[in-house]
Structure 1
Amino acid sequence: MNDIAARLHTATEQLCQPGAPFEIETRNSGSSELRFYKNAPNTLRELLDTGRNFEEQEFLIYQDERLTFNTFFARADAFSHYLVTELSIAKGERIAIAMRNYPEWMIAYYAIVSIGAVVVPLNSWGSADELCYGLSDSMAKLVICDQPRYDAILSGADQLSCQTILVRAKDDQAGLCFEDIVRANLGAAMPEIRCDSDDIAQIMYTSGTTGRPKGAVSTHRNICQAIFSFEFHGMCSAMANPESIGKMFSAGFAPCTLLSVPLFHVSGCYAAFLLNLRAGRKTVMMYKWSAEEALALIAKERVTIFSAVPSMVVDLLRHPNFKTTDTSSLFSLGGGGTACPPSFSSAIAENLSDAYVGTGYGMTETNAICASCTGDAFLYKPNSAGTLSPLVEWQTRSPEGDVLAQGDVGEIWLKSACNISAYWNKPDATAESFIDGWMATGDIGYIDDENFVFLVDRAKDLIIRGGENIYPAEIESCLSQHSGVADSAIIAIPNEHLGETPGAVIRVRQGADLSETDIKDYLNTKLAAFKQPSHIWFVDEELPRNPAGKVLKRELLKRFMN
């Protein structure tokens, strides 16, 4: 076993042994046994109330607004008091949040889950139809939204019966105003509502690329175990990377996270918001992504942690202002939401070689938990998603459903206390994806003999050309290493003779001059002939992506095949 793998194994054993902070115990759960962190809190209120201990420390920076932990909790207490005493919100009732990244998003989330209601974070990038579908499907009693989402809901809703509370409303907007509610109830205590670990806490809609999104149902226990898993991986990695951690502390910068991804996605909600609220770390929140603005914030607020979609990390590091910006505080870089291309590693090596780099693998249905890879582990196996969480059991299966041997490539199935319990109001989809405690991920991959997870591609993205399997991720990885390619996506092109062939949509890097011949000559040296794209299209604009950072290939197919 390699030294870093051995260090991770030893750290895991020490952290998870009886009496240790992350002690593991096995419990019966339904028809199967699951592993749990014994010391994890049972409810989100219990989990997050530790943040109250940080009092007058700064918690949240948003543009010109600065909130201490005391201010945050006082506003959340006021809002929760109103929900219970004035609107009579009862335990188990659904409350939706539909807005871009604002402080009120965080305040509303904490208030909702703390009174036993069910929070429904909606995709603020969605259309009016998609927003209304989420409200209708979840049977939300109330939606808390900003002005653009309010306007969209009004234009698309015919029979929605949920009440609306508006955030940052226009001056002439009638109706309930979030800021007025909080101001009128400041000083009130949060109501005491008894919650159980098996109560539903959240319905988070999957950002699917086909069909209607599905509501992923998480209990308090699911999310508490997930947050504890994040903390375990952080502690385990620190123990396995003592030199890097020592360097971080010697630099003297207080931990500070730049939040640039949407809060309605697990990466923004869990890895930034909930972890920082619980741990007393400062969060600098962006309304929307801008590499130029992000660099300015890093310098001004002395940001130490930046984790985002890999393409955003690359954009930041390769921005013309990077070399002239004071990024001396920036220590930790992470890429998540989608596979990290080689350009992610090369951009870091070229511009911030001493960074503590990490990635991982998880999904909405696993509450972001499966594998994590940070520090020396990332350098050791940069193509891996990391080592498996102690809570997670792993299988790869053949298309026929047979369990494959370790190291064999197949569809990934996971069993974990972090996995969601069901899809909301979709028994058929639940029965198809959840079997005997195991969940089908739809991802193709394998796990090696050192417990490192490797992803190959999405099962649905597989291209079969004349009987030969082609994984688009492999071609996209090759393209990402071309100096003139800023981004790319491989899509399946129907072919009467071969069934389908790969087609490449390429965003050209600014200032580069690329031709179809350039790309074909480049790929000829790296890929087998049958994997070569049969069609190549060049674009100047960003490729369409969902909130998790995954390219919307159906949109590209419609555009280039019509």
Structure 2
Amino acid sequence: MEDIGEVLARCQQEMTAPGAPFELDDERLAGRTVKVYRNAPRTLPEFLDAGRAHGEREFMVYEGDRWSFTRFYAAADAFAAVLAGRFGVRAGTRVAIAMRNRPEWAVAFVAAASLGAVPAPVNSFGMREELLDALAQIEPRVLVCDLDRFNRIDGGPGVSGCEIVLADAEPMPDGGVHSMSALLAAASSEPAPPRGPGAGLGVGPDDPALLLFTSGATSRAKAVLSTQRAVCQALFNLDYIGAVAAKSSPALIGAMIERGFAPTTLMAVPLFHVSGLHAQLLASLRHGRRLVLMHRWDPARALELIRQERVTQFNGAPSMLTQLLEAPGIADPEVLRSLSGFGAGGAGLPQRTIDRLVAFTDRIAGVGFGMTETNGVGAGISGEAFRLNPRCSGVVSPIIEVRVVGAQGETCAMLERGEIWLRGVTLMSEYLRDPRATAEALTPEGWLRTGDVGYVDEEGQLYIVDRIKDVINRNGEKIAAAEVESCLMQHPEVREAAVFGVPDEQAGEAVAAVVVTREGSALGIEEIVAHVRAHLAAYKTPSHVYLRSEALPRNPAGKLLKGELKESYRAG
């Protein structure tokens, strides 16, 4: 009898063979040969056009407002006509999007992408400085935002020639800001833009497709630029992962089908993340799945929506999944009547969450590992394979190479721990306008240094065990410690500051700050927290603040001994 490793290997071999749906091919990119899915769409306009076939089927539900695929595409086409006719958006033009999850976010994205333009989703949790910095990097022709984000930037994007479109408000009295609803109402006067394969957009696989922001380990969020080919290969890889799960877990798939509910995902992760954009919005659009959008995460509200909307799938950050599984009412028969699958990405799952997932013997659960810089592609595991090996981060994708690298740059032996490097067709082109950061992340041979420590076993399963980068993972949001430290140091009474993550049962990790104030200062913890909250997104605000009078520990070269500091305050 085959073990699960043999089953997975056989599934991959069968599904990627010549003539199979996920047939692999070789392409030359940047002087190297990479594996690609032969049948994947070549560009985002081609990918998006396939969703039109779903017609009057329900696509999105938001705060009681229901959108069919027909309604959605009508809005996206109308807004594309406005972008092209009124604002001159063309292939390669950048269009920024800054708002909470809502249907208009998706309309703006699809409208821009269908023109061959470059959508640039911005972190909607950002405060004024963060939003303006992101817009300065992007230099968009159009910013589509909600009223909250508009007010945060004081009504001006700080970018010459950038038009602002409000998704949820009327035009401003001075006429300098547009209303999406008003633009859509008048869209019939704009010529319809070309669409579909061969529409003459002038967009090819090597052209830019997407800008997403990632904080990484630096004090400034970086804009990750990806090509049309990279994004489309990543999206097709999601189909491959689903096909492997179905083929290797027939009993679980059979139980899901027997429940008889239309595939419906509860969407709580932000759309500006690859996990929300790729794995939920775009995958659902192409394959005709329903999306139920949450305005903000709340486990009690999530359970209510699962019951009301007959949700079949929940994917979220590990902390979200933990909170959902521990919420009162998760075992309600009306919740479990439809809920068939759970998924998590990013950091590893706590053991108690794994135990709860495995206890659902007739539900599909899975995890994945990827990065913004890889368009989410890396490794994935679900279904029976996850149940048998829930501590691993997934089986390596057939279009990605993995190298485990030691401290001296040597390739580690199997099962030996080192930094995970990734290479393949889905990798970013660059960090926009940041050649130094790009060179630090990408080797001349095309490897991406992930900053994560792990190993690969003999069956090609990847294990992530630690992080090199000084990044805090709070509720799935990556927080650069250097960014919070920089903010703290802007306070005139702060002399030194060190920020790091500490374990937190609810959020996975919480932000801790050690602050050295100037001599004679009366600065208190509440004032420090208020200072950070006034300048950075709320989720970056420290949950734990420790005041000290003595200097922070440093080595003879002046480097901060953060490890020593962490141990001291975790113990205390």
- In the TM superposition, what whole-angstrom CA distance separates every residue of 1:454-479 from its partner, at most 9, and x where no partner exists? 001111359xxxxxxxxx99xx9xxx
- 2:559 maps to none
> Aligned partner of 1:176: which letter?
H
- 1:340 maps to 349
Q: Quote the Cα distance in structure 1 between the aligned partners of 2:2 and 2:365.
A: 19
Q: 1:182 aligns with which of 172, 184, 188?
A: 184
- Evaluate the alpha carbon distance shift between residue 108 and residue 158 of structure 1 in structure 2; reply closer, same or farther with a 3 A threshold: closer
- 2:298 maps to 290
- In the TM superposition, what whole-angstrom CA distance separates every residue of 1:340-391 from its partner, at most 9, and x where no partner exists? 11122123345x4432100010010010001001011111111101100000
TM-score by length of 2: 0.81
TM-score by length of 1: 0.82
- 1:251 maps to 259
- 1:484 maps to none
- 1:68 maps to 68
Give ranges in structure 1 of 5+ residues lacking alignment. 463-471, 477-488, 493-499, 510-540
Deviation at 1:209, TM superposition (A): 5.3
SS of structure 2 residue aligned to 1:326: helix
- Evaluate the alpha carbon distance shift between residue 260 and residue 376 of structure 1 in structure 2; reply closer, same or farther with a 3 A threshold: same
- 2:451 maps to 442
Deviation at 1:155, TM superposition (A): 6.2
Q: How many residues align?
A: 494
Listed as ranges, the matches of 1:447-458 within 5 Å are 447-458=456-467
Q: 2:416 aligns with which of 401, 405, 408?
A: 408
> Aligned partner of 1:267: which letter?
S
Give ranges in structure 2 of 5+ residues lacking alignment. 483-497, 508-528, 550-572
- In the TM superposition, what whole-angstrom CA distance separates every residue of 1:489-520 from its partner, at most 9, and x where no partner exists? 9x99xxxxxxx9999555689xxxxxxxxxxx
> Aligned partner of 1:294: which letter?
A
- In the TM superposition, what whole-angstrom CA distance separates every residue of 1:430-475 from its partner, at most 9, and x where no partner exists? 111111111111110000001110001111359xxxxxxxxx99xx
SS of structure 2 residue aligned to 1:322: coil
8 Å Cα contact 2:51-2:287 kept in structure 1: yes
Q: Quote the Cα distance in structure 2 between the aligned partners of 1:155 and 1:71.
A: 30
SS of structure 1 residue aligned to 2:270: coil
The more displaced of 227-236 and 24-33 is 24-33
- Evaluate the alpha carbon distance shift between residue 169 and residue 385 of structure 1 in structure 2; reply closer, same or farther with a 3 A threshold: same
8 Å Cα contact 1:307-1:333 kept in structure 2: yes
8 Å Cα contact 2:48-2:114 kept in structure 1: no
- Evaluate the alpha carbon distance shift between residue 428 and residue 461 of structure 1 in structure 2; reply closer, same or farther with a 3 A threshold: closer
- 1:485 maps to none
The more displaced of 54-63 and 353-362 is 353-362
- Evaluate the alpha carbon distance shift between residue 381 and residue 223 of structure 1 in structure 2; reply closer, same or farther with a 3 A threshold: same
SS of structure 2 residue aligned to 1:460: coil
8 Å Cα contact 2:95-2:117 kept in structure 1: yes
- Evaluate the alpha carbon distance shift between residue 381 and residue 507 of structure 1 in structure 2; reply closer, same or farther with a 3 A threshold: closer
- In the TM superposition, what whole-angstrom CA distance separates every residue of 1:195-254 from its partner, at most 9, and x where no partner exists? 101110111110335410111111110010000001001001110111111111111111
- Evaluate the alpha carbon distance shift between residue 80 and residue 334 of structure 1 in structure 2; reply closer, same or farther with a 3 A threshold: same
> Aligned partner of 1:185: which letter?
A
Matched, 1:376 2:368: no
8 Å Cα contact 2:121-2:272 kept in structure 1: yes
SS of structure 1 residue aligned to 2:240: helix
- 1:535 maps to none
Q: 1:228 aligns with which of 236, 244, 250?
A: 236
> Aligned partner of 1:389: which letter?
S
The more displaced of 156-165 and 120-129 is 156-165
Q: Quote the Cα distance in structure 1 between the aligned partners of 2:546 and 2:78.
A: 48
Deviation at 1:156, TM superposition (A): 7.3
Q: Quote the Cα distance in structure 2 between the aligned partners of 1:508 and 1:301.
A: 26
8 Å Cα contact 1:362-1:368 kept in structure 2: yes
Percent pairwise identity? 37
Q: Quote the Cα distance in structure 1 between the aligned partners of 2:2 and 2:468.
A: 31
8 Å Cα contact 1:299-1:325 kept in structure 2: no
- 1:107 maps to 107
Q: Quote the Cα distance in structure 2 between the aligned partners of 1:145 and 1:508.
A: 30
CA RMSD in angstroms, aligned pairs only:
3.0
Q: Quote the Cα distance in structure 2 between the aligned partners of 1:439 and 1:334.
A: 25
Deviation at 1:114, TM superposition (A): 1.1
> Aligned partner of 1:190: which letter?
P
Q: Quote the Cα distance in structure 2 between the aligned partners of 1:165 and 1:220.
A: 25
- 2:145 maps to 145
- 2:566 maps to none
- 1:534 maps to none
